[in-house]
Structures are given as structure tokens and as C-alpha cells.
Amino acid sequence: AVVSTQSGHYGRGLDEDDSSVVYTFPCGRWLDKEEEDGQLQVDLLAETVVKKTVKGEETNLESSKLKNESYTIKVLTGDKFGAGTDANCYISLHGTLGDSGERQLSKSENMDKFQRNQVDTFTVDCVELGQIYKIVVREDDANMGADWFVESVTVVDTNNTESSFPCEQW
């Protein structure tokens, strides 16, 4: 799928020198819980930005210097009685260039995620965030025994830069 949006001078007449800008955001992936990474959200970056004048002239403008990046998230559930959870768990990544927004941690290599003394690995695809300096982890209290003891979370970017966040709490 390709998404385009256009900005211009709406609500008044156009002069001969007026123009609008068209941004094109290619997607090319599934937004489905059963496909790829199971995410229902994707960050799209403008691939092309074109300025169009009333006269029909087009000029290619520079698109975003940001890029998409994959972050590997490693969650260690603590080694305490009742530490695991069957709740839905979420993470937000915060970096020097922005944040990911909240993302569900849904597809792990482990069939039964977030169990006692277990590491679960996830992938979060989003716009590059720069150096990760903060994360927010939460669970939604769904299902019986929803409490969750998080030992630590490690975030690794595509350059293998690792950011570790000890938690050691419920």
C-alpha cells in the first residue's frame, strides 16, 4: 500500500504562483496479528516529497533524513514465585530523536511468553530513535495471575548498541 497526503492553500483562491506539496509514504507490509511481526502499527517515512504548482510544474523536494530501524527487545522475567504473567505486555522506547509510542510485545521465540526466569526476545520496528535513554514497560492486568516481576530489559539497535534497563520490581 502507498499512502499519499497533500497540503496546499485551501479555503481561498489559488494564485498563479501557489503550490501544494504531496508526500508519499510506501508501506509494503502486513498490519495483521497473524502476519510478519504481528504488529498493527507501523511508522511510515515519506519516500517522495513533490511540490506541485498551479501551472502543473513539479519539483522533487528532499525527503526525511530519518530512517526506519529494528530494535531487538530482550525481556528477562524474574526468578521469583509468581513472577510470570499471562497478561498482555507493552513497551515504549524513548531516544534522543523521539519515541516509538506504545507497542505490544506479542511475538517471541517462546511459545509461552513472560514466564519465570525466562528471556523473551521481540522486535520493534519504528523510525530511528537515536540513543535509547528510557523505556516504559507495562502489562494490562488481563487474565488470572497478571502480576509480573520484570528483572531487566535490554534494547539493541541495528548497530548493536545495547541499552540495559534493570527493573527488579513488580
Residue 153 one-letter amino acid: V
Q: DSSP E strands: which ranges in the chain?
A: 2-7, 19-26, 48-53, 58-61, 68-77, 89-95, 98-99, 103-104, 119-127, 132-139, 150-156, 162-169
CB count, 10 Å around CB of 134? 11
At residue 143, does pLDDT exceed 60?
Answer: yes
pLDDT score recorded for residue 20: 79
CB 138 within 8 A of CB 122: no
pLDDT in the model for residue 93: 97
Q: Are 78 and 116 in contact (CB under 8 A)?
A: yes
pTM (whole model) above 0.85: no
